[in-house]
Amino acid sequence: MSTEAYEGELVKAEERELVGRAVAGDRDAIAEVVRLLQDPLYRLALRMVWRPAEAEDATQEILLRVLGNLGTWRAEAKLLTWAYRIGVNYLLNLKRQTPQEAAQLSLDAYREGLADGLADEEYRGPEATLLTQEVRLNCSQAMLQCLARDERVAFVLGDVFELNSTEAAWILDVTPAAYRKRLERAKKRLGNFLTSTCGLANPEAFCRCSRRVDKAVALGRVDPRRPNFARHPISPGGRTVVQAEQQMVRLHDAAAVLSAHPDYAAPQAKMDAIAGLLQSGRFPLLENQ
């Protein structure tokens, strides 16, 4: 057995032991399951629904579904991969549309919007670095919303979370070949858009984050008092905004622009709410499994 395979089996054994205790009602084990899953699931939800407040609500619902179905986990995949499958199913079937979806925004329309109101000079006002970062992070989120949900989740799983086609296909319940085709379609659309539009992906393209700050503020897409992304809490030991940006510059390709977000942490208030719900006795967690 290879070292990688051995380590994979060791992780599964540890996860089986943890899940077994959680299913038996061990509250410390339940809390540990939540701790392990909450940040990755939040980052998945954030990429799919764009705004942090919507991602918080989605993450709470996904976590409750994960916990309520822990007794059905048979270690056919890693615990996080299995949780992603539950999360993706929930996110793909959300009835509520994101603002972009409701407006049926296309990448072509989004490109036109970016060109309209692009300032002649870089923004040099208060908090210039912070607001430029916020524009970039907000813009990459908006780009993803221009994709159909099935393309969006394929791109997020493959190029943002860097799962292999076998794992991603299992999460989506499709064949690896079908997944790769979906991913390639999403990458081609985003790559063409970024190459023609984004100065970070192509120095000859017209758009620059620092020249979009004034317009983004005027449209209400960026709030200088409360930046949604640039000051978002990150996971312990996770990448900061600056580190993510440096990684993107080093890679300097279309995929890097969209994947170089910080390692966001799920907002603690929502996680505390879940913990309170589990301890209240009102949620039939793992009963009759």
Instruction: Name all domains of the chain by residue range, CATH numbers in brackets.
Output: 1-96+265-289 (1.10.1740.10), 99-224+230-263 (no CATH)
Structure tokens at 236: 């312990």
pLDDT digits (tens, 9 = 90+) for 3-12: 444 445 656 7
Choose among 229, 223, 239: nearest CA to 134.
229
Question: Above 70 in pLDDT, residue 48?
Answer: yes
- For the four alpha carbons of 132, 136, 138 and 139, in that order, the dihedral sign comes to positive
For helices 79-92 and 27-49, angle between their N-to-C axes, nearest 10 degrees: 40
In the predicted model, what is the mean pLDDT of the chain? 83
The pTM for the full model equals 0.84
Quickly state the pLDDT bin for 68 (edges 50, 70, 90): very high
Buried b / exposed e over 146-155, threshold 16 CB at 10 Å, is bbebebbbbb
Predicted confidence band of residue 174 (pLDDT cuts 50, 70, 90)? very high
DSSP per position, 208-260: -GGGSHHHHHHTTSS-TTS-TTTT--B-TTPPPHHHHHHHHHHH-SHHHHHH-
Quick check: 33 and 86 in contact, CB under 8 A? Answer: no
Main-chain phi, psi angles of 264, to 5 degrees: -60, 145
Residue 29 in contact with residue 3, Cβ under 8 Å? Answer: no
Per-residue pLDDT for 258 more than 90? no
In the predicted structure, residue 276 carries a pLDDT above the cut 80:
no
CA distances from 115 to 120, 151, 205 (A): 11, 25, 11
CA distance 212 to 217: 9
CA triple 125-127-129, angle to 5 deg: 100
Under 8 Å between Cβ of 165 and 176: yes
**What pLDDT does 70 receive?**
94
Share of the chain above pLDDT 90, in %: 55
Residue 150 DSSP class: H
User: Is the predicted pLDDT of residue 254 greater than 90, yes or no?
Assistant: no
